Structure 1
Amino acid sequence: MFREMRRKKQALDRTEIDRMHYGTNGVLALSGDEEYPYAVPVSYVQDGDVLYFHCARSGHKLDLIRQNPKASFCVVDQDQIHP
């Protein structure tokens, strides 16, 4: 179903995955209208293995999730740019 990760030493271990509950926001990527990608920043909380996203009770994000529940979610824990 998923491709094998090419650079395996960059894979997150369970401890790093569990640290997601320290984050507060990330980018949710969905399959948008006419198959265009749709990525949007969202606030989230983690409860065990479940992520909850802040959103309205209706809207574009929820419509897209109902059409195709496959998604990707990216959390940036900390970013440091070195010149």
Structure 2
Amino acid sequence: MFREMRRKKQLLSEEKSLEVLKRNTSGVLSVLGDEGFPYGVPINYVYNDGKIYFHSAKMGHKVDSIKNYDKVSFTVIDQDKIVPERYTSYFRSVIAFGKARIIEDSKEMEHILKVLAKKYCKEQGDKGIQEEINSGINHVTVIEFDIIHLTGKEAIEIVNGLD
């Protein structure tokens, strides 16, 4: 169903690809948008229990697109070091393909919002996080991205230890 990577020497292991997802904070979610045009939107996310989660406004292009077509992709750039003297960049990135669903259960939403908040705002403490969730939960959508296929790639120079 998914294409094999052409440059197999540059393929990251699943373990390293997951490490990239775990350590980063932003990526680009791509959906099938209006009139069949691709729509890529930068988002903050959290990788938790084998899935990617993010929150959104209740309405908008992203949410409408997911409701209409649940197949999506998500890209994270872990490294992009431009090396002008070599006319290249030393990069590392991951792309996930999967299905997105809007979480409807309020307890599940609250749990994921806590996971997101602890990644980005843990210094606010449990009480502050809970107060924010309580005040905003009716105004957000929480989306689960179920990963079907994950692939990572890095520059051959990194593979060969030349970075």
In structure 1, C-alpha distance between the alignment counterparts of 2:49 and 2:16, rounded to whole Å:
13
1:29 paired residue number: 30
2:45 paired residue number: 44
Give the RMSD, CA atoms, in angstroms.
1.3
Deviation (angstroms), 1:25: 0.2
1:13 paired residue number: 13
2:55 paired residue number: 54
Counting helix residues as a fraction of each chain, which structure ranks higher?
A: 2
In structure 2, C-alpha distance between the alignment counterparts of 1:78 and 1:3, rounded to whole Å:
23
Query: 1:20-70 CA deviation, whole Å, 9 max, x = no partner?
Result: 111000011111111111111000000021101231122210110111111
**Aligned residues: percent identity?**
51
Given the superposition, is the C-alpha separation of residues 3 and 14 from structure 1 closer, same or farther in structure 2, using an over 3 Å criterion?
closer
Comparing 52-61 and 28-37, the one that deviates more: 52-61
Max Rg structure? 2
TM-score scaled by length of structure 2 = 0.48
- SS at 2:31 equivalent: strand
Structure 2 stretches of 5 or more lacking a match?
85-163
1:4 paired residue number: 4
- SS at 1:80 equivalent: strand
